[in-house]
């Protein structure tokens, strides 16, 4: 039986207006342009020189492009999945060399009865009783003037007892130079390169990381008349003078601009001042002492201080709170001390032995970065230490 043809008229679809096609093409073009620009920017960040890991470069790119909360969220998840271990004992191999040293001896005599730089007395560790070798200094950089760089290890607190904080003592007779990073603070106007060159290696004694990125440091950076940011009153400041000696002080109180100042690196507020640990270290940790991983307290941290005799002490380690860092620096003799950079990607201290004109780097502790970090282009500022 034949079906009767439908008498219902076919629906008529009016053609899409020409402006709608143009709008869609325009939106698509904008999206493609944004994707291409973003991809080009990310590729440029990944291809930047230096030994920053790809994950570090991506995280820094994201923070510089308003994606900081996303990075912090990812870091927070990672931290919660792998929090610092509590209890336990540290790797004794790092304490083995110190355990063989024994107590420090009186200062030896040099030529014509002069006193050489002697090994420093042991630090009283934060955790008692001390492990064999804990807090005992080991000389690692020596010259005709004595033991110029010495290091030791201590446990940071009574909770994270399987971790060791490295402490480096540096004689006031050493010469210090502040080097910029090619990204922060940048090389424009700077007197130094972003790496240790071959001509500088024969006298190289040590290197260590600088502070936060300047946009987060609450202070400035000064290099022989060129300033990035603003030197800020009350800021904790590492100051280096024309003769190469360095100190740590509060800007406008202990230290200030003079014709003899060649370098200044500011970072936050002092951890230790007038021989006393600051009383606000556990308050507003993330906003006051830096955006750690997810706001966590116990992370990789580093700091630098000056002793009453003008020597410098540096401390670095994992699973440290701000209070832990200040306490260790204070125990090492710092009368003024400041926090430097934090988090695993940025903390590093190296001392150097020499084979001919080649400087051979050695790590203080088990930090993430390769030992030749500062012998290559570096994205962040750092301090180089030279024999007198």
DSSP, collapsed to helix, strand or coil, labels residue 166 as strand
With 70 as the cut, is the pLDDT of residue 65 above it? no
Q: Please tell me the predicted confidence (pLDDT) of residue 81.
A: 77
Residue 309 structure tokens: 């005799």
Q: Please tell me the predicted confidence (pLDDT) of residue 157.
A: 96
- Note the pLDDT tens digit of each residue in 221-251: 999 999 999 999 999 999 999 999 999 999 9
pLDDT greater at residue 337 or residue 8: 337
With 70 as the cut, is the pLDDT of residue 21 above it? no
With 70 as the cut, is the pLDDT of residue 59 above it? no
Residue 158 structure tokens: 């009574």
- Please give the Cα distance from 71 to 69 (Å, whole number): 5
DSSP, collapsed to helix, strand or coil, labels residue 260 as coil
Confidence bin at 104 (pLDDT 50/70/90)? confident
Confidence bin at 80 (pLDDT 50/70/90)? confident
Confidence bin at 101 (pLDDT 50/70/90)? confident
Q: Please tell me the predicted confidence (pLDDT) of residue 280.
A: 78
Q: Please tell me the predicted confidence (pLDDT) of residue 89.
A: 95
Nearest to 293 by CA among 75, 56, 69: 75
- Is residue 340 within 8 Å of residue 354, measured between CB atoms? no
Summarize the confidence of residues 308-317 as an average pLDDT.
98
pLDDT greater at residue 94 or residue 209: 209
Q: Please tell me the predicted confidence (pLDDT) of residue 12.
A: 54
With 70 as the cut, is the pLDDT of residue 71 above it? no
Residue 61 structure tokens: 């790119």
Q: Please tell me the predicted confidence (pLDDT) of residue 184.
A: 96
With 70 as the cut, is the pLDDT of residue 16 above it? no
By percentage, how much of the chain surpasses pLDDT 90? Answer: 62
Provide the mean pLDDT of the chain.
86
Q: Please tell me the predicted confidence (pLDDT) of residue 15.
A: 64
Summarize the confidence of residues 112-127 as an average pLDDT.
86
- Is residue 306 within 8 Å of residue 250, measured between CB atoms? no
Q: Please tell me the predicted confidence (pLDDT) of residue 296.
A: 59
Nearest to 136 by CA among 160, 174, 100: 100
Q: Please tell me the predicted confidence (pLDDT) of residue 377.
A: 95
Q: Please tell me the predicted confidence (pLDDT) of residue 356.
A: 83
Length of the chain: 388
For residue 155, what are the β-bridge partners? none
- Note the pLDDT tens digit of each residue in 130-163: 999 999 999 999 998 999 999 999 999 999 999 9
Confidence bin at 355 (pLDDT 50/70/90)? confident
pLDDT greater at residue 116 or residue 54: 116
Confidence bin at 286 (pLDDT 50/70/90)? low
- Is residue 291 within 8 Å of residue 303, measured between CB atoms? no
Record the pTM: 0.86
Summarize the confidence of residues 12-27 as an average pLDDT.
66
- Note the pLDDT tens digit of each residue in 158-208: 999 999 999 999 999 999 999 999 999 999 999 999 999 999 999 999 999
With 60 as the cut, is the pLDDT of residue 9 above it? no
By percentage, how much of the chain surpasses pLDDT 70? Answer: 76
- Please give the Cα distance from 153 to 82 (Å, whole number): 24
Confidence bin at 297 (pLDDT 50/70/90)? confident
Summarize the confidence of residues 249-273 as an average pLDDT.
97
Contacts 24+ apart (CB under 8 A), 321-325: 321/156, 321/157, 321/281, 321/282, 321/285, 321/297, 322/271, 322/281, 322/282, 322/285, 322/289, 322/297, 323/277, 323/281, 323/282, 324/126, 324/156, 324/157, 324/165, 324/298, 325/271, 325/301
With 70 as the cut, is the pLDDT of residue 99 above it? yes
């Amino acid at each position: 039986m034949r079906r009767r043809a439908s008498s219902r008229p076919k629906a008529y679809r009016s053609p899409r207006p020409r402006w709608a096609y143009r709008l869609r093409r325009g939106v698509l073009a904008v999206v493609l342009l944004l994707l291409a620009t973003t991809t080009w920017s990310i590729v440029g960040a990944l291809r930047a020189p230096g030994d920053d890991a790809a994950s570090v470069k991506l995280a820094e790119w994201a923070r510089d492009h308003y994606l900081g909360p996303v990075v912090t969220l990812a870091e927070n998840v990672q931290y919660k999945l792998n929090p610092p271990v509590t209890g336990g004992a540290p790797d004794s191999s790092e304490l083995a060399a110190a355990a063989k040293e024994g107590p420090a001896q009186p200062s030896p005599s040099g030529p014509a009865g002069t006193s050489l730089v002697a090994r420093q007395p042991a630090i009283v560790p934060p955790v008692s009783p001390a492990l064999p070798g804990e807090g005992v200094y080991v000389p690692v950089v020596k010259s005709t003037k004595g033991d110029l760089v010495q290091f030791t290890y201590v446990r940071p607190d009574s909770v994270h007892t399987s971790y060791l904080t490295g402490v480096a003592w540096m004689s006031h007779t050493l010469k210090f130079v502040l080097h910029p990073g090619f990204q922060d603070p940048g090389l424009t106007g700077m007197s130094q390169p972003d790496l240790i060159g071959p001509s500088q290696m024969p006298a190289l004694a040590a290197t260590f990381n600088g502070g936060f990125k300047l946009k987060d440091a609450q202070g400035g950076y000064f290099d022989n008349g060129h300033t990035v940011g603003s030197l800020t009153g009350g800021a904790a400041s590492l100051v280096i003078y024309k003769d190469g000696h360095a100190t740590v002080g509060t800007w406008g109180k202990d230290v200030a601009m003079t014709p003899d100042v060649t370098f200044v690196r500011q970072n936050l507020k002092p951890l230790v001042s007038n021989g006393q640990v600051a009383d606000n270290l556990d308050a507003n940790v993330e906003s006051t002492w830096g955006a750690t991983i997810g706001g966590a307290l116990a992370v990789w941290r580093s700091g630098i201080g000056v002793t009453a005799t003008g020597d410098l002490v540096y401390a670095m380690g994992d699973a440290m709170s701000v209070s832990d860092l200040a306490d260790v620096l204070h125990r090492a003799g710092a009368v003024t001390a400041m926090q430097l950079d934090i988090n695993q990607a940025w903390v590093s201290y190296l001392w150097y032995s020499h084979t001919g004109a080649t400087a051979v780097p050695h790590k203080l502790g088990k930090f993430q970065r390769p030992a030749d970090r500062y012998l290559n282009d570096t994205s962040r500022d750092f301090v180089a230490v030279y024999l007198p």
